[in-house]
Amino acid sequence: MTEDSVIIRAEKVVKTYDTGTARVTALQGVDLAIRQGEMVAVMGPSGCGKTTLLNCLSGLDYVNAGEIWLEGKNLATMSDRERTEYRARRMGFVFQVYNLLPVLNAVENVELPLLVSGRRPKEARARAMAALEAVGLAQWAKHRPAELSGGQRQRVTIARALVNDPAIVWADEPTGALDSHTANEIIDLIRELNERIGLTVVIVTHDPAIGDRCDRIIRMRDGQIVGETPGALGLGHKGWPVGAGAADGQAGGGVRPAATTR
């Protein structure tokens, strides 16, 4: 893949957790490159490091070694504050648990990150309503989470993830708490947003059916990427050469020496 199409790049990323009694190496030298506009699934057995990878790539957590670039910026060169601002401005997050505030209704939950980052209330409300509309929930704007179904709640969190017009959405088992029919609807929605607005999506999942809805499936085991395959749609439908990632001879695909990326 060409250098300027890469939005997420990881090189030799190592992450260890020290709990005092034990030391766990959760990521053991991960190389990875993800294209702008790509929808990628990360799959692998429980404990293999998927959530750790997401947390490290998105700058929620620190790495012990290796480097991560997002939109060409090296995470290691950013201060805590710059990271937080960058996340708020350019990223959205969707987790298995909804993390919605129960006392706020749907539109208030969605507009909250905008208000926190200093947007005017009127603008925040308008953007939040537009985001709810994008996920098909406009008429539920005044309902609190307790009055919504699991699928509707997850739509609210997707609206909240989208409200800042992010470049990248990170999703960690976003359908893990949903029945398979609702899960499919949520994935269709994420896929549609990916295709319609060119959102880059990284989605951790245990569900092979979700992997198949993605452009590419990255497989992890024991803190490493052990392979990747195109999703059922294949990479070709977005005009990308099929197998281009694998052609570089590295799992994770298309990773070039550090010297060419700065």
Ligand X SMILES: Nc1ncnc2c1ncn2[C@@H]1O[C@H](COP(=O)(O)OP(=O)(O)OP(=O)(O)O)[C@@H](O)[C@H]1O
The two beta strands, 91-95 and 168-172, are parallel
Question: Binders of ligand X: how many residues, by CB under 6 A?
Answer: 11
Q: Confirm or reject binding of residue 51 to Mg ion (CB under 5 A).
A: yes
Question: Binders of Mg ion: how many residues, by CB under 5 A?
Answer: 1
- Point out which span in 42-50, 140-148, 179-187, 238-246 binds ligand X (CB under 6 A): 42-50
Query: In the set 48, 70, 106, 202, which binds ligand X (CB under 6 A)?
Result: 48
For 99, left (φ over 0), alpha (ψ -120 to 50), or beta?
left
**Chain-centre distance of CA 37, in angstroms?**
12
- Point out which span in 16-24, 68-76, 191-199, 239-247 binds ligand X (CB under 6 A): 16-24
Q: Confirm or reject binding of residue 200 to Mg ion (CB under 5 A).
A: no
Please, is 18 exposed, middle or buried when counting C-beta atoms within 10 Å of its C-beta (0-12, 13-18, 19+)?
exposed
For residue 213, give the DSSP letter: T
To which H or E segment does residue 116 belong? helix 106-116
Question: What is the rounded CA–CA span in Å between residue 29 and residue 219?
Answer: 14
Q: Confirm or reject binding of residue 205 to Mg ion (CB under 5 A).
A: no
Instruction: Quickly list DSSP for 131-150.
Output: HHHHTT-GGGTT--GGGS-H
Minimum Å distance from CB 132 to ligand X?
A: 29
Nearer to ligand X (CB atom), residue 46 or residue 77: 46
- Helix axis angle, 121-134 relative to 150-162, nearest 10°? 130
Query: In the set 3, 17, 192, 195, which binds ligand X (CB under 6 A)?
Result: 17
Minimum Å distance from CB 9 to ligand X?
A: 20
Nearer to ligand X (CB atom), residue 17 or residue 62: 17
Residues 186 to 225: which contact ligand X by CB under 6 A? none
Residues that bind ligand X (CB under 6 A): 17, 19, 24, 26, 46-52
Residues that bind Mg ion (CB under 5 A): 51
